[in-house]
Structure 1
Amino acid sequence: MNAHKDIAMPSEASSDQRGRQKLDRETVNTLVVFGLSIVLIVCSRFISPALGSWSQVLTVLILASFLIILSFGQGLVILIGGLDLSIPALITLGGVLTTTWVGTSDAGVWYMLPAILAICALVGAVSGIGIVWLKVPPFIMTMATSIVVASVALGYTSGTPRGGSPSALLWLMKAWFLGVPVVIYFTLAFILFGWLLQNFTALGRRLRALGTNRNAALIAGVSVNRLELVPYAVSAACAGFVGMMLVGYSNGATLRMGDSYMLPSIAAVVIGGSSILGGSGTFIGTVGGAILLTTLGTMISAIGLSEGWRTIIEGGIIVGALLVLRGEFLTHIGNRMLTRGK
């Protein structure tokens, strides 16, 4: 028996060491992303004194709240090795149904808004069914879902969404409490919820295991097929809720209100340290990525660059951030520092 223990101990030690290395890498990624965000905010003072002010920081956090909530769902999909390209259409669906079914009357708002989120989640689950049981690649399936939903929204509104925002959403997006917008308190609560769910629940551990090794998760008794539907349903519900938030923010909906969020939702997750192949990543890192991208977008808008230059600069910084934040790069830098120390 002692011999068996001696044989098992090195394996367990190496497994723990790999886990600590992975945890340390994710922690470093998160710290670097938040550090870059702070540097950008400080440097923005050189562009315009108003950019680094407290009011501007609050504005950045309000704008980042959309991307943070959106990236939570996208992050869960990426965690299992998938990709959700239906996000823009689901944002539009959530916004359009909110203005047309609820509007400014507030009649039944407390059951209509959850019903709209349930519809969005159902659409996401349909995408998951196509991916899991019909074996359609996530890229193709979610893109097809996006086209269908966008077409339905276009036909339903006849090209012009009507209606305004219910007072509950206006309060969420416009009200202040103790000198801070209410939506920031809500976003902090959402971040805490997402962090706990992804890191300290059985669902979070199973999703990570599914993304790391599907066959191993299957052997361990995880109901892989049903589990794979969850991230797509959650991502769709998050997108639908962001559509509601945008309705409260602008007091209306448009058919293209979600177009600018698809690539940033992916970039925030990957910049935050998640592997695009699945199996690793933290929601806190994703939050940092969302704040970084929002700060960058605010600075570019302040400079007054054209949309073309803005896209080029954003793309270049995203690629640069991905190169810098890769685990291999950080490991290489760490090894070089250790070598010089010797």
Structure 2
Amino acid sequence: MTSQVDVMSKFQAEQDTRKARRIDRHTVSAIAVFVLCVVLILASRLVSPSLGSWQQVLTVLTLASFLVVLSFGQGLVILTGGLDLSLPAVITLGGVLTTTWIGNGPGAWYMLPFVLAICGGVGLASAIGIVWLKVPPFIMTMATSIIVSSAALGLTNGTPRGASPDVLLLLMKGSWLGIPAPVYFLVIFAVVGWIVQSRTVFGRYLYALGTNRDAARIAGVPITLVSVLPYVISAVCAGFVGMMLVGYANGATLRMGDNYMLPSIAAVVIGGSSILGGNGNFAGTVGGAILLTTVGTVIAAIGLEQGLRTIIEGGIILVALLLLREELFERLRGLSGKPRSGG
């Protein structure tokens, strides 16, 4: 018992040290990303007078709401050292099931949780393969994506039917005080997501698991549960994004999730999270999602092709990886005159 207590104390001290280091880094990263968003929006007026307006800001926030929800789930998976490549397929599944089973009009809106439960089941299947069968996350989620995509194709015979239920139209098309409903939803979701990731026991477990799995196990972290839940939550978020897209476009397509794979990872990395796990902050992820959406909006406004947009997004990830290295922040702290922690 004494040995276990000593190990737990040492682990907690290590976590406190890492947390203290994360505060400066993640705060600076999040602020820098949001400042860059503002600068980019203002600079976009140089490209077109129609850009940089308040209306464009509302449009960017509305479009960013999809990526924020998706990146929350992806961020939890990455926090544990994993990666979820099944998100585009689960987005499509959520959208297709919504239009096919519920359809337009008032519809059976109570079926929406059931659709999300099915999407969560997809995430559970991926987690079972990763946690119990020891299949690498990259391979397992890719296989899941292929299976789910094929199932959606078989369900629709290549042509999704139906339109959006009224409740989703209200969520994505409604407004209050001149501000679109998705903007309110974005703010609420961002706050809730930040609390879940940074201020709950579950969130602390995720950080512990991603930092040191063996130490987390000795400290009493329920490894299996904490390893499984992020994939389930990620799939539920993806299914809900499919619903949101249905409400926004009033219909579903078999390729509706294809453009969200790279951005879901990019938003997390740009926000300051480590792709290796154990390090991240949802506030930065929200900023990363808004930044990528702003970039996409500007590119669309000036008529650049989708291929070039993907190249730019890849370049942004590379620059973020270079700028957000721990060594850089250590050097900045050294230049500011702060003593380094440790020996």
With structure 2 as the length reference, what TM-score do the two structures score? 0.92
Does the residue aligned with 1:285 lie in a helix, a strand or coil?
helix
Change (3 A) 1:150 1:16: closer
Report if the CA contact (8 A) 2:61-2:186 is conserved: no
Deviation of the 1:16 alpha carbon: 4.7
Q: What does residue 295 of structure 1 align with?
A: 294
Mapping of 1:34-53 within 5 angstroms?
34-53=34-53
With structure 1 as the length reference, what TM-score do the two structures score? 0.92
Deviation of the 1:307 alpha carbon: 2.5
Q: What does residue 213 of structure 1 align with?
A: 212
The farther-off stretch of 321-330 and 124-133 is 321-330
Q: What code does the residue aligned with 1:286 have?
A: T
Q: What does residue 306 of structure 1 align with?
A: 305
Question: Structure 1 residue runs of 4+, over 6 Å off?
Answer: 9-15
Q: What code does the residue aligned with 1:310 have?
A: R
Q: What does residue 250 of structure 1 align with?
A: 249
Q: What code does the residue aligned with 2:198 have?
A: N
Give unpaired runs (5+ residues) of structure 1: 1-8
Change (3 A) 1:84 1:225: same
CA distance in 1, matches of 2:276, 2:152: 32
Q: What code does the residue aligned with 2:200 have?
A: T
Change (3 A) 1:310 1:19: closer
Deviation of the 1:12 alpha carbon: 9.0
Deviation of the 1:314 alpha carbon: 2.5
CA distance in 1, matches of 2:245, 2:171: 11
Q: What does residue 181 of structure 2 align with?
A: 182
Superposed CA RMSD: 1.9
- Pair 1:116 & 2:110 matched: no
Does the residue aligned with 2:81 lie in a helix, a strand or coil?
coil
Q: What does residue 91 of structure 1 align with?
A: 91
- Pair 1:235 & 2:229 matched: no
CA distance in 2, matches of 1:313, 1:208: 30
Cα-to-partner distance string for 1:217-254 (whole Å, 9 max, x where unaligned): 11112221122110000000000000000000000000
Cα-to-partner distance string for 1:87-140 (whole Å, 9 max, x where unaligned): 00000000000000001142320x200000011001101100110000000000
Cα-to-partner distance string for 1:59-109 (whole Å, 9 max, x where unaligned): 000000000000000000000000000000000000000000001142320
Change (3 A) 1:224 1:165: same
Q: What code does the residue aligned with 1:329 have?
A: L
CA distance in 2, matches of 1:195, 1:148: 32
Change (3 A) 1:84 1:46: same
Report if the CA contact (8 A) 2:160-2:254 is conserved: yes
Q: What does residue 81 of structure 2 align with?
A: 81
Question: How many positions carry a matched residue from both structures?
Answer: 330
Does the residue aligned with 2:221 lie in a helix, a strand or coil?
coil
CA distance in 2, matches of 1:11, 1:132: 23
Give unpaired runs (5+ residues) of structure 2: 1-8, 339-343
Q: What does residue 21 of structure 2 align with?
A: 21
Report if the CA contact (8 A) 2:15-2:208 is conserved: no
Change (3 A) 1:283 1:10: closer
CA distance in 1, matches of 2:267, 2:12: 34
Q: What code does the residue aligned with 2:92 have?
A: T
Q: What code does the residue aligned with 1:252 have?
A: G
- Pair 1:330 & 2:337 matched: no
- Pair 1:107 & 2:88 matched: no
- Pair 1:282 & 2:265 matched: no
CA distance in 2, matches of 1:301, 1:176: 24
Q: What does residue 160 of structure 1 align with?
A: 159
Q: What does residue 270 of structure 1 align with?
A: 269
- Pair 1:149 & 2:148 matched: yes
Q: What does residue 57 of structure 2 align with?
A: 57
